[in-house]
Amino acid sequence: MTKVTMTINGKSVSRDVEGQTLLVSLLREDLHLTGTHVGCDTSQCGACTVHVNGKSVKSCTMFAAEADGAEVKTIEGMANADGSLNVIQQAFQDHHGLQCGFCTPGMVMAATSLLKENPKPTEQEVRVYLEGNICRCTGYHNIVKAIMAASGQDVSAIAAE
């Protein structure tokens, strides 16, 4: 067992973890932060995407021990301080950017990273950036639309079919 300490959504957390404990296991099973989803468990689908030191990572493909000392942010830490949805989350709701919702936490975390790196992406840039986030409902058009809208751009020209 190794003792790890990290800041998760602004709160300091210390736990003893085994070497093979994945970051996502610590988040979900130990800390009950079940908003982060495990889809494929093979680092393909991106449902488990969280931010570690401000960068998107797949929490199913990182060990908890590797996050020792890190700042971790999960979907539970994304809402505004008053509990209302943030701009990106609200845009997903407004533009029907989710169907079953399973991929949504990862999509929101990925979208947040994208808009931080590139505040006004083109539609194509959004689609390329989401390469590692799979929506098995295939609801990509509205996800792209939501992200474009969250960036303050006109989405009327984006095909919805």
CA angle 72, 106, 2 (to 5 degrees): 35
d(C-alpha 84, C-alpha 87), whole Å:
9
Decide if residue 12 touches other proteins (CB under 8 A): no
Q: Which is nearer to other proteins, 40 or 94 (CB)?
A: 40
Stretch that binds other proteins, among 6-14, 81-89, 119-127, 128-136 (CB under 8 A): 128-136
d(C-alpha 12, C-alpha 15), whole Å:
10
Q: Which of 19, 82, 154, 159 binds other proteins (CB under 8 A)?
A: 19
Binding mask 42-71 for other proteins (x = CB under 8 A): xx--x--x--x--xxxx--xxx-xx-x---
d(C-alpha 4, C-alpha 52), whole Å:
14
Decide if residue 161 touches other proteins (CB under 8 A): no
- C-beta separation of 113 from 147 below 8 A: no
Decide if residue 138 touches other proteins (CB under 8 A): no
Total residues contacting other proteins by CB under 8 A comes to: 28
Decide if residue 29 touches other proteins (CB under 8 A): no
Decide if residue 123 touches other proteins (CB under 8 A): no
Structure tokens at 85: 């949805």
Stretch that binds other proteins, among 5-13, 39-47, 90-98, 153-161 (CB under 8 A): 39-47
Shortest Å distance, C-beta 109 to other proteins: 9
Structure tokens at 83: 């509990």
List of residues contacting other proteins (CB under 8 A): 2, 18-20, 22, 41-43, 46, 49, 52, 55-58, 61-63, 65-66, 68, 110, 113-114, 129, 131-133
